[in-house]
Amino acid sequence: MLYQGENLKVALESDGIAVLTFDAPGSVNKFDRQTLSELDAALDAISASQGVKALVLASGKDTFIVGADITEFLETFKLPEPELLAWVQKANAIFSKLEDLPFPTVSAVNGFALGGGCECILATDIRVADATAKIGLPEVKLGLIPGFGGTVRLPRVIGADNAMELITTGKDNRADAALKVGLVDAVVAPEKLFEAALTMASSAIAGKLDWQARRADKQSALKLDKLEAGMSFATATAMVAAQAGKHYPAPMTAVKGIEAAARMGRDEALAIEHQGFIKLAKTDVATALIGIFLNDQLIKGKAKKAGKAAHAIDKAAVLGAGIMGGGIAYQSASTGTPIIMKDINDKALHLGLSEASKLLNKQLERGKINGAKMAGVLNNIVPSLSYDSVKDVNIVVEAVVENPKVKASVLAEVEGVVGQDAIITSNTSTISINQLAQSLKKPERFCGMHFFNPVHRMPLVEVIRGEHTSDETVATVVAYAAKMGKSPIVVNDCPGFFVNRVLFPYFQGFSLLVRDGADFQAVDKVMEKQFGWPMGPAYLLDVVGIDTGHHAQAVMAEGFPTRMSKTDKDAIDVMFENQRFGQKNGKGFYVYTEDKRGKPKKEATAESYELLKAVVKAQGEFSPDEIINRTMLPMIIETVRCLEEGIINSPAEADMGLVYGLGFPPFRGGVFRYIDTVGLDKIVAIADQYAHLGELYQVTDTMREMAASGKTYYGQ
């Protein structure tokens, strides 16, 4: 043994080939501080030993290296810039040391080689992968660029165009695609991988593979003439500007860095990468995106834990085959849980099934599934008009019309049919879970399971715990949601639960702006382009449905009369009274038509403005900041209230609820991350300026206390 660390070891094979095996104690290998320093020491041990003629890197696990240890990022990135630079330089010196070894180096890649894992194999001369390999540089997804030489070595190995595409999208390549672009030199069956790597190493030792030339390419300028370079970088710049947009600076930093370093040798080029990396590491965007990654891990961890306390779910039922019921049936069936879809209306069942087929057909066309999988999923959705078929299910999701009386009777009916251990849930968006529980004999087996529309696309499921709901019930519903590929967050019962409770104050902020003279289109534009929402409030109301919004608003007003009830008619009332229900009937704030290609098109017409005159009380001009403050403050303060009242468990879960349930701009990380970024003291000061607008703008005492003592929600 040449070296033995905790996470990796080096052994010398008889023919002079040293084998460095990454094999950390956990389930995967990653580049944490410990592994990096062990790699450094191992390389020194290899250099110092006589008789090494080649080095092979391999993994002792079923995946190579998943990347850097992201849990260390936020702490590390807080270092002052010179220290951060020293950290990056030190890490890079290790990869350059690997690249500079005086004999050929080969990587044997299985499973994931992402981020630092990919950069590590790029530092070797030859790369052989097995069919399970997935190789890529996903750093932009965290608001970063590769920091261990990825932007330098990758373009020199696979060409600038390919490299820029891989780095700016963050997508990983399967083995065959990696082979096609030259990211790996060979792909073999998993059981042949190690042997193939040894053979390659022997060939290189014997001089049959010109490893020196490959290495020299990586260490010199990019092979692009001036004209080619001009074209490549101009195209990439335009593409990234259009796709990533101004809120996500990392992809552009990557392109600009690769361009600036194009004529440089390795070490100079690395210095450019370091600068770009450090600049990004210090941005709020990187903090927010890394925060989302960590919060997502937390939710996954909780779901995994819930899985251990959960009942088995082998068969489910959904009551109601409407928009939501159909979506829930599709999602359950396509993730492996057969489901009975029950309705009282035959037509609805047909519609539900045809929606599922449409979704599956799209995937079939894209080659994501085959015919057998499609048939399997469709067979897993069993339409029914009778309760008989529901008898033996483990879980029921009620998704009938949003009417408390109908729901109460449907819930009581189904409880009489299912077995003693079956769990019953409701997908209601507004009705109190505690109220619905009153119609059940065993309320402990009941909770809310709130999906978002469209079900197949929206990642969030709110699991709403009622006062009688048992822990076992919550655990089982969380596990079922996770099995469906969703991110469940557990919340306590209150009007609107968590997501709608904080959404409606935002709509109210919007209505007040319209009242005071703001143009709804201008508000949408600021909230989309500047704040970063996928849709501004007027557009979102049209998509949700003005009738649905109007109804939910009334429920919220009843639940929180002092903050959310209104004395005057507002913009939503105007649309509702004029039967402008939004996208569903072709007109709301906007008018919806189809363009020549049949794509939905939205347009603001004079009619909306004319109707809104009934509620406009002033002629105000609002700056983008005012628009953002007046719409966001009610959402922010209500979110804080939900935390203070224990409706949500943590800032992390709240932020994920907002990002996954509403599309809160990921680069802002969620409400709590946003507060921490702006500063709670500033938020309080701004809110105080708007306090005259009503209770929705008045901060809580705890917010004031926390602001005064400089506390943050994430404590970082």
Ligand X SMILES: NC(=O)c1ccc[n+]([C@@H]2O[C@H](COP(=O)([O-])OP(=O)(O)OC[C@H]3O[C@@H](n4cnc5c(N)ncnc54)[C@H](O)[C@@H]3O)[C@@H](O)[C@H]2O)c1
Which residues of the chain form contacts with ligand X (CB under 6 A)?
Answer: 319-325, 342-345, 348, 399-402, 406, 410, 427-429, 451-453
| Nearer of residues 321 and 482 to ligand X, judged by Cβ | 321
Identify any residues that bridge with 491 across adjacent strands, giving them in sequence order. Answer: 464
- Considering the complex, what minimum distance in angstroms separates the CB of residue 642 from ligand X? 18
CB of 452 to ligand X, least distance (A): 6
Integer Cα distance of 460 and 465 in angstroms: 16
Residue 516, classed as helix, strand or coil, is coil
In sequence order, what are the residues at sequence separation of 6 or more whose Cβ sits closer than 8 angstroms to the Cβ of residue 682?
Answer: none
User: Based on CB atoms, which residue is closest to ligand X, 324 or 574?
Assistant: 324
In whole angstroms, the minimum distance from the beta carbon of 499 to ligand X comes to: 9
DSSP state of 68: B
Greatest pairwise CA separation for the chain in angstroms: 88
Q: Considering the complex, state which of residue 11 and residue 385 has its C-beta at the smaller distance from ligand X.
A: 385
Q: Is the peptide bond before 338 cis (omega within 30 degrees of 0)?
A: no
**Beta bridge partner(s), residue 355:** none
Q: Which amino acid belongs to residue 521?
A: Q
Least Å distance, CB 355 to ligand X, is 10
Nearest residue to 478 via CA among 646, 658, 305: 305
Closest CA to 675 of 625, 632, 709: 632
Strand partners, 441: none
| Catalytic residue of the set 247, 311, 350, 450 | 450
Tell me how far, at minimum, the Cβ of 386 lies from ligand X, in Å. Answer: 11
Pair 407, 326: CB distance under 8 Å: no
Least distance between ligand X and beta carbon 419 (Å): 19
Q: Which residues contact 594 (CB under 8 A, 6 or more apart)?
A: 600, 601
The torsion defined by the Cα of 474, 480, 484 and 485, in degrees rounded to 10, comes to 50
Instruction: Work out how close the CB of 403 gets to ligand X at its nearest, in angstroms, rounded to a whole number.
Output: 8
The label of the residue with tokens 């030792």 reads 205
Tokens of 510: 């919007």
Q: Among 262, 31, 270, which residue's Cα sits nearest to residue 145?
A: 270
DSSP element (H, E) containing 194: helix 193-205
Residue 287 or residue 427: which is nearer to ligand X going by CB? 427
Distance (Å, whole) CA 175 – CA 110: 9
Is 450 known to be catalytic?
yes
Decide the pairing of beta strands 17-22 and 8-12: antiparallel
The gap from C-alpha 109 to its chain's centroid, in whole angstroms, comes to 27
Annotated active-site positions, please? 450
